[in-house]
Each structure stands twice: as C-alpha cells, then as structure tokens.
Amino acid sequence: MSVPAQSTKVLMIHEAGLHARPSVKFTKLAKRFGAAIEISAQEEGPWIDAKSIVKVMATRIPKGTMLHIRATGEDAGEAIAALSALVEQDFEDETVEGGA
Amino acid sequence: MIAPEHLRGMPASPGLADGPIFVLAEMFADERAAGTPEDERAALKGAIAEASTGIADLMGQSGEEGAAILEFQLAMLEDDALAEPAYEMIAAGASALAGWRAAMDAQITGFETADDDYFRARAADLADIRDRVTAILTGSAAQTVPPGSVVAGEDITPSRFLQTDWSRGGAIVLGDGSPSSHVAILARARGVPMVTGIGKADFASHRRALVDGGTGNVVLSPDGEAEARYRERCRIDAAQRHLAEAHLLKPAVLADGERVQVMVNIAAPEDVDAIDIASCDGVGLMRSEFLFHGETALPDEKAQYLAYRKVLEWASGKPVTIRTLDAGGDKPVQGLTVEEANPFLGLRGIRLSLTRPDVFKSQLRALARAAVYGDLKVMLPMVTVPEEIDEAARLLDGCLAELIGEGVPAKRPQLGIMIEVPAVAILPERFARAAFFSIGSNDLSQYVTAAARDSSAVARLNTAGDPAVLHLIAHVAGEAKRLGIPLSLCGDAGSDPVLLPALLSAGLRTLSVAPTALGRVKSAISQIRP
C-alpha cells in the first residue's frame, strides 16, 4: 500500500533562480533524506527527481517561480520542511553568481 | 637502423627544426575501434570517476569562488543522470567517446539556448566537464609535450598549442590541418615551424624528424645525406635571418627609396611586450577574439578597455587598428555564436555583432574609452553591405553620447572596414563612407576560390596567389586610390615573399604582418622595384 505523498509550495526568490550553486545545495540536502522527493514548476507537473542536479538544472527554474515540492516515504515531512526552508531563506543568503 | 622516410606537406609556418618526435594521442583515439558495449561502458565509468577525483583534488587548491564552480561540476559528474544517454548509446554499439560527446553536446546545446543569461553561462562548465572526461578517455590527459619536440598527429587544437612550451624549439607536423587554420596563425606568430596535410604517416615508428616549415619537407629518421642538406638549409636560413635583423629597426623602403608602412598583427595585448615599437609603423590588426575565450562568460567593458588601452599606450602615438569581434566561422565563442551547417558563410563578424547589440555595445564603449590614449582606428570584419557600416556607426555614436553623458572620457575612433567578402572587393566604391579599407587576404582568398580555410583537401586551391585574388586586390588598390581612402593589407599574403612583389606592384604601400616576419618582410621589400 503506497504512502500518500506530502507536498508544499514555496516561492523562488533567489536572484538567479534555481541555478548552479542553489541547485548544488538543494540536491545535496534532498539526498540526505530517504524519501523520494520531486519538484515541479507547476502544480500539475511534470515532476522531476529533486536528488538529480542534472535534471534540476535542465528544468531551469527562474526567479519568481512557485516551486512545488512533494515527497513520499518515512521522512517525507522533514524533507519537505528542510527543503522549503532552504528556498525561503534564499539558500542562506548566498550571493548571486555574476555572469563573469 | 630505421630507413629514412621523406614526406612533403603544405608549408604552414616557416622555420627549421630537428627534434625527437612526439605523437599526439588524439590521432589514435579517433581511430580506436569501439570495444564491446561492456568494455566501453566500463571505460566511460572509469573516466568519469577519474575526472571526479581530479576535480575534487583541484577544489582543494582553488579559492572559494573557484571551489564553488568546481563543486557544481563535481555534483553534475557524480549524478548518474548525466551519462545516462551516453550509456544508452553505448548499449546500442557506440564507443564510449562517441556516446559521451553526443550526450554532453546535447546538454551543452540545452544550456546555450536557455533564455536566461545565468543558465547560458553554465554551458562553459558543461564543456569543461566534457573535455576533462574526453581527455581521460583518449589518454591525452597525461600527455605533456617535452620541450623541443616535433609534435606529430592528425590535427592539433589551439589550446594544446598554447599549453606547449615552445621556448626550446620544436615543430608541428600534421597529417591533416591547413596552413590557414588558427593554429597555423598562432605558430607563425610564435615562430614555430609547422607543416600540414602530410597525409597518413607512421610517426610512431620513428624517433627523430627534420622539419622545414618553409618548404613543407619533413624527413623522419634522417640519414647522413638528409642531415647534410638540413645543415645547408640552416646556413642559408641563418644568413637570411641576419639580413632580416639588419632591417628590423630600419623603416621599410623599396629599392627606389619609396617608403612602405609595415605594421604588426597581434592577437592579445601581451603580444606587444615582445615587440619593439621602433621596429614597426603601428598595429595594422589587433584581433579582439582573445578576450572572448574565457571559461565563463563574455568579457565586460572594463576588461576590454584595459586591454585596448595597454596596446595604445605601447604604440606611443603610432596608429593602432583594432578589429571588432570576429567570432563565428572557425572561431566559435561560448554563449555567442550559433551552430551552423556552413559557418564560414553564416553569422560571423559584424553580422553576428549586429544581432547582439548588448555585446557589441560593450566593445564599442571600451574602444571609445581607449581611443583617448592614442591613434585608434576601429575595423569592422565581414562587412558585406554599406548599411552595416551605418548601423555600426549609429551604435558607436550612441555609445559615445552615453559616455559623455556619464562624464567618462571618450573619443570617437575612425571607423573602417575589412575587405574580405568578394561583394565588397568587386565594388569598393559603394563603401566609400568607410574611413579606411584593410584587405583581409586570408578570408578573401577562401571566398574567391570557394575553398574553406579549415580543409586540408582543398588547401592548394585556397591561395592569395590565385590570379583572380590578385586581380581583385589590384582592383581594390586602384579604387581606394581613386576614392582617396587609405588602404592596407593584413592577411598572410603580406609576409609571403613570393606574393610581395605583386602586392606592391598593385599599389599597396601599407602591410600588416606577424611580428616575427617584420625583419624578413622589410628585407624583402628593399629588394623590390615595383
């Protein structure tokens, strides 16, 4: 019997969107949890694996996107809380990567 | 004893060399047959693991900024999703190298076409990852060319050339390649002898080679006779060099005493450090592409301004002609040029700059700011119709007004054009609004002869010595004189002793040549009575 997915949504406020360094942080954090975690830029999907930086980068989520996060598994609740906090805190006030 | 093997290729950069043969590994990599899918899968897996370790090591030695970029590269490499398409191709019979390159090229294209600058700039990181793994797969990662070697292979990349220490001599001998390639231009600028298009040769079974970059003759495992001939060539060469040195610091004059302006072509601001300004009449062509080959993004206005200013200050009042970005063709720039089936006939030079006013304007602003420091002329490459000059002039005037408004010191440089597209060479009077003309004989030759610069198979057709090319050069010279427009020539034809008499007879009195050719060209000019 499958465990119902838990989900939340959080506004991307990082200047560069879900870009290189934010993606590194996001996927590293996601990998700490046993739960299957997926993200999407729309409520109806498509959903992509939040633990794969290649897939997260390929989605190219810009600033101002409402990021949907859903997770299934034992620590799904904690995973969602931790990941949405990371986005809300703007990836710990990381400075924007310049173009140079 | 191994029997000597005599080879003949296209002379790409003059000079003589005698040294041990160093075979480039890429030559074998291209020919390496794919193993079983299991072998290839293991090879790619191993190369990715090795590349990850390499990046992790590098992170330890890099500053905070560098480490953060490498951390991203490492995370990408460690994600199995990256190589997944490559493994699928391998399962279907592709080699590890082919699968990896296809997978990465698809990724890179994805980033290059992103709407957002931040994402576009990441294409360079992906290319770095691709090249690091490729180097391990082909075994070229561990290759360091011993100084003084005769480097032999199918072809050589500009980055490999630049990584090699040429200070203790050496030469390049290529099975493929072309005298018009950018590596050949680099070799001529550095004075490294180079022969291209030698065909298939078993370099690996020989240990030593004699190279004559002026004639294209190469002898592998030379015997006593070949060695004696080589010594004689060295003697003649030394005598010519002596003559060239004697002329280096004197003004160039024809046999009848008429003055000829001989300027230099440079590719980077550091190039001027090795040139005595007294040995030339200024800079006839400064390429600006070097600034656009950084690993990450396009150069900003300040970096460009400082580079241009350095050259103008060095020139101490002598004219300096800087060409606006000539990307495209065989000179791709990450995040700027587009993939095309026919890049030499596509979006390159001024055509590309006008589609990217953001990039072009930062270059024009940098140029207008640097113009305060000397006699600057700005040259537009690949002009095909007069409207392109108008468009560039409008942008330049706009930049100037902006700078003045901001209170930044600036000056309007003269705006001239390269003559390299036949449409311009045939009817130069349509372009009389240009402040000057400069014949780019390399591209003009390739377009008139319809023989691409990067193809060794048609390299013999692509020559400025073709009567049709010389006819067009003479026509442009006549028209420029009639219109009162200053004319120069900045291609390789200007330093070719065989073509010099024809160019001077056509009426050219300003040439721009590689710095290493200055003395030789002046010495040759002194013998000519046009």
Output the domain CATH number for residue B152.
3.50.30.10
Cα B351 from Cα B48, distance rounded (Å): 39
Give the per-residue pLDDT at B62.
60
**B464 and B324, same structural domain?**
yes
Give the per-residue pLDDT at B467.
95
Give the per-residue pLDDT at B31.
42
| Helices A20-31 and A76-88: angle between axes, nearest 10 degrees | 160
Neighboring chain B residues of A58 at a CB cutoff of 8 Å: 107, 110
**B221 and B85, same structural domain?**
no
Give the per-residue pLDDT at B367.
98
Would you say residue B330 lies in a domain?
A: yes
Would you say residue B244 lies in a domain?
A: no
C-alpha neighbours within 13 Å on the C-beta side of residue B71: 17
Give the per-residue pLDDT at B123.
77
**B156 and B129, same structural domain?**
no
Cα B492 from Cα B496, distance rounded (Å): 7
**B213 and B279, same structural domain?**
no
Could you tell me the two tokens for B508? 């050219």
Element at A8 (helix H, strand E): strand A6-11
Among B215, B238, B261, give the residue marking a domain's end. Answer: B238
| B255: pLDDT strictly greater than 90 | yes
- Residue B46, domain extent: 31-138
Our count of domains for chain B comes to 3
3-state secondary structure B235-258: HHHHHHHHHHHHHHCCCEECCCCC
Could you tell me the two tokens for B509? 């009195």
Give the Å distances, CA to CA, from A95 to A13, A15, A19, B70, B135.
Answer: 12, 9, 12, 17, 33
Q: Is B4 exposed, middle or buried (0-12, 13-18, 19+ CB in 10 A)?
A: middle
Cα B41 from Cα B48, distance rounded (Å): 11
Give the per-residue pLDDT at A99.
33
**B18 and B89, same structural domain?**
no
Question: Under CATH, which architecture does the A6-91 domain have?
Answer: 2-Layer Sandwich (3.30)
How is chain A split into domains, by residue range?
6-91
Give the per-residue pLDDT at A4.
61
| B407: pLDDT strictly greater than 90 | yes
Closest Cα to residue B101, out of B154, B199, B26, B151? Answer: B26
The Cα of A16 is separated from the nearest Cα of chain B by a number of Å equal to: 7
Output the domain CATH number for residue B339.
3.20.20.60
**B197 and B80, same structural domain?**
no
Mean pLDDT of chain B: 89
Mean pLDDT of B375-398: 98
ipTM beyond cut 0.85 = no
| B521: pLDDT strictly greater than 60 | yes
Residue of B nearest to A100 (CA): B297
Give the Å distances, CA to CA, from B203 to B6, B248, B501.
Answer: 12, 38, 38
Neighboring chain A residues of B117 at a CB cutoff of 8 Å: 99
**B315 and B371, same structural domain?**
yes
- Is residue A64 a contact partner of residue A41, using CB atoms and an 8 Å limit? no
Per-residue pLDDT of chain A (100 residues; tens, 9 = 90+): 355 678 888 887 777 677 788 888 899 999 999 899 999 988 888 889 999 999 988 888 877 888 889 999 888 888 998 998 888 887 874 444 333 3
Please identify every residue of B annotated as catalytic: 182, 490
**B423 and B291, same structural domain?**
yes
Chain B residue set in contact with A, beta carbons under 8 Å: 68-69, 71-72, 75-76, 79-82, 107, 110, 114-119, 121-122, 125, 294, 296-298, 300
